[in-house]
Homo-oligomer: A and B are copies of this chain.
Amino acid sequence: MRVCDTAAEAVDGIEDGSTVLVGGFGMAGMPVQLIDALIDQGATDLTVVSNNAGNGDTGLAALLAKGRVRKVVCSFPRQADSWVFDGLYRDGKVELELVPQGNLAERMRAAGAGIGAFFSPTGVGTPLAEGKETREIDGRTYVLELPIKGDVALIGAHLADRMGNLVYRKTARNFGPVMATAATTTIVQVREVVETGELDPEAIVTPSIYVDRVVAV
């Protein structure tokens, strides 16, 4: 675990072609400063896994606008302010894998938890299960879903201690905890880094084992 001085230091070394898990539900929990640093860092040909595909012209939308993203894996790309993604998608400049939100979260959980695959009832009989293996178990039909593992996770949290334990704030928690478990390198922007021992051990949401780099922004 490294406490970084700058967002640039935090995103150092992210390679072209990486799968990057990006936290946030809309703007809540979105690691905007890390994404800005990633834009400056220059990695390209990225696969981005995130619930949405960018809002307005900042954060994930800005990364998309720079042409750095080859493929988006998400549940809800289309929003009132998703014009950047919309344009790229219509022009065939970005690939989309649409995943129901619960399967998206559970596929990342599986990656983090060492589960090889799981049978989900979500999406059965819909276009999003087409071509996937199905099985009837105990009278119900399920579709086989595979893990989504990230090379890197970029997430936003509220506070970290110097070991990397994290707490979040309200619904900004969303995809942060599961993405932290699912990436080889988990990079976190927080509002403040506190001394080790200041966070209540009973209330820590992401234990330090999942966190590689932290930066206060």
Contact = CB atoms under 8 A, between A and B. Distances in A.
Nearest to A118: B118
A173 to B, nearest CB: 8
Number of copies: 2
A120 interface: yes
B121 A119 contact: no
Contact of A142 (B116, B121, B138): B116
A116 B106 contact: no
A137 B118 contact: no
A208 B121 CA distance: 24
Given A202-B169, A203-B200, A203-B202, A117 B142 contact: yes
A217 interface: no
Contacts of A118: 110, 115-119
A131 interface: no
A90 interface: no
A106 B113 contact: yes
Interface in A89-118: 106, 110, 113-118
A192 to B, nearest CB: 15
A167 interface: yes
A205 B204 CA distance: 10
Contacts of A135: 116-117
A37 interface: no
A117 B119 contact: yes
Interface string A150-187: 00000000000000000111100000000000000000
A146 interface: yes
Contacts of A132: none
